[in-house]
Amino acid sequence: MTPVVARAPAKVNLALHVGPRRADGFHEVATVYQAVDLYDEVVAESRRDGVVSVETRDDGGNPVAGVHDDDRHLSVRAALALQSRLGVRDGVHLRVRKHIPVAGGLAGGSADAAAAMVACNRLWGLDAEVRVLAELAAGIGSDVPFALFGGTAVGTGRGERLVPVAAAGRISWVVVTSQRGLSTAEVYAENDRSAGDVASPVVDPALLAALERGDTAATAGLLRNDLQPAAVRLRPTLAAILDVGRDAGAVAALLSGSGPSALLLVSDGGPAEALAAAVRPRVLQLDADAAVRFAHGPVAGAAVVDEVC
């Protein structure tokens, strides 16, 4: 069979409200996701032996630190879930090209899973219904359903229950990423140590209204991340990076998810390239291995594409 290429976007959290820890170990959350144009790509190649395997590489063709090319890889779990649910006998070899940082709060692993799922759906000729893919995605990881659909959406439960938001216009970001990731589990644990009693999380309707109007100025004042203080305590230089962004003209600065990726919101009409150029020298003084790039959202979710990795 001809290999199938798919890609899926990174996500940013415009709001992340964290509630109490649940009996299953997850936290109840209310978040506003937005998909941005940073993508991981997956090539799915048929295997007749029924085995699901994966090989992850960066742009230079090198193995990616922190990624395990075995059944811990979310793309493998996605392919296995689809294979089992629909009774597929063929296997697949997945070649993952990483562009989204690992453990960066941008859901790169979830993007891999979503891209693998749509690629295998095409490769195996399944034509599975969207509801089936969404159900399987929720069993793989909290952010995987959003990686499938993309756009802008409110996520509740542990993030897997989605309601689309009709966001107007385009939002531009400068994204500062680090080669040193942060463990989501460690950030949540640090947050739990200082959170005290917490109420059930709710998204601010004013933020949703601002997004629906395409009002970047109003959106800037409503961004929030409950995990940010915990992440900053674990990685104090993040506070300085956020300050650099504000000083350079970002209209808002916050971490995405559990960090350490920093999001610098670009003003309406302001070129993201100019803000990126302004912050890069000072960011590199704080973190010599950081990368400064720009991204825009919202974009669509996981999809089969023509280009080859």
Known catalytic residues? Answer: 11, 143
Amino acid at the residue 291:
A
| Contact between 302 and 111 (Cβ < 8 Å) | yes
DSSP-assigned letter for residue 261 = -
Alpha carbon distance 182, 198 (integer Å): 23
Alpha carbon distance 43, 5 (integer Å): 4
Alpha carbon distance 222, 295 (integer Å): 20
Positive or negative: CA dihedral 78, 54, 118, 87: negative
User: What are the residues whose beta carbons fall under 8 Å from the beta carbon of 262, sequence distance 6 or more?
Assistant: 175, 176, 238, 241, 242, 245, 253, 254, 255, 256
Residue 44 bridge partners (DSSP): 4, 94
Q: Which two tokens stand for residue 307?
A: 């280009």
With both helix axes pointing from N to C terminus, report the angle between 74-86 and 130-140 in degrees, rounded to the nearest 10.
130
